[in-house]
Amino acid sequence: MDVTEESTPPQTALALLKSGGLRMGPEWQRAHELCQLDEGDRAHDLVHALCHWIEGDTANTDYWYRRVQPWTRADTIAAEWDALNAALN
């Protein structure tokens, strides 16, 4: 996914997560900050859930996924990134 001037914050956050290897680091931190810009917006909350899954914070991950129901979480972080990328683009 390429980030453009037309990219939304959730799209940019997804791109950052991918560029950071779906691991914790500066890209994760920036992606998490972008998700917090508009909590309550479904797209922001979906990527926020993925951020906390990557972080390994199960309770927080589950909280964010409950907020975005209905949504079927993928089996792996990489598959979830693919699903979110398809849904948000």
What pLDDT score was predicted for residue 3? 73
DSSP structure string for 1-48:
----TT--HHHHHHHHHHHTTTSSSHHHHHHHHHHGGGTTSHHHHHHH
Q: What does the pLDDT look like over 21-80, one tens digit per residue?
A: 999 999 999 999 999 999 999 999 999 999 999 999 999 999 999 999 999 999 999 999
pLDDT grade for 1, boundaries at 50, 70 and 90: low
pTM of the model: 0.94
- Among candidate residues 86, 78, 2, 1, the one with its CA nearest the CA of residue 43: 86
Decide if 34 contacts 67 (C-beta within 8 A). Answer: no
Q: How many CA atoms lie within 13 A of 77 on its CB side?
A: 18
pLDDT grade for 6, boundaries at 50, 70 and 90: confident
Decide if 87 contacts 32 (C-beta within 8 A). Answer: no
